[in-house]
Amino acid sequence: MSKLNENATRGAVVREVSYIVTIIVLIITVIAVKAAPGAAPEPIVYNVVAGEAEDVVEAAGEVVEGDLPGDEPVGNSAGSKPSSSGKSSQPAKVTAGQKININTAGSAQLQRLPGVGPSKAQAIIDYRDANGGFSTIDEIKRVKGIGDATFNGFRDNITVE
């Protein structure tokens, strides 16, 4: 690769990382303003690699009642282990009526489903990539680690549309 191409590629990577950092700062600012005008809450930090900006935005979610400073974090439901700061280290789980498209969801979105952590989310993505997506929601049971019990826990929260 020529020196000119190396510099151009390096410049593109720097711009993309700069873009991602800007998005993160904006997300934190919006959360702070909505959560408590005039008083910024403890920032939520997401570690991001290039190309995962959509997952970060999805994981940040919205500020909702009960997610204000001093209240229990939305993601800290039964079975969720809080970090040493008291905040949940897992994305907030889906609520009744919310649907996640398993053909397009990133890892952070998939982890919002009950019973799905990082390894199951990656298994879903790997299966989807290897098989061209899911035709029906029942097909997700072909993913290693997802049986009837896990499927029944999130069947009403997934779609393939």
pLDDT at 53: 59
CATH fold group of domain 100-159: DNA polymerase; domain 1 (1.10.150)
List the one residue out of 90, 65, 60, 86 whose CA is nearest residue 75: 90
**CA 28 to CA 21: how far, in whole Å?**
11
Sign for the CA dihedral angle at 112, 114, 117, 120 comes to: negative
* CA torsion, ordered 60, 119, 146, 106, to nearest 10 deg: 40
Give residue-wise pLDDT tens across range 89-133: 566 788 888 899 999 999 999 999 999 999 999 999 999 999 999
Q: Which residue has the higher pLDDT, 45 or 144?
A: 144
Q: How confident is the model at residue 23 (pLDDT cuts 50, 70, 90)?
A: confident
**CA 123 to CA 158: how far, in whole Å?**
16
pLDDT at 83: 45
User: 143 Cβ partners below 8 Å, 6+ apart?
Assistant: 120, 123, 124, 127
Domain boundaries, the chain: 3-60, 100-159
φ and ψ at 98, to 5 degrees? -80, 140
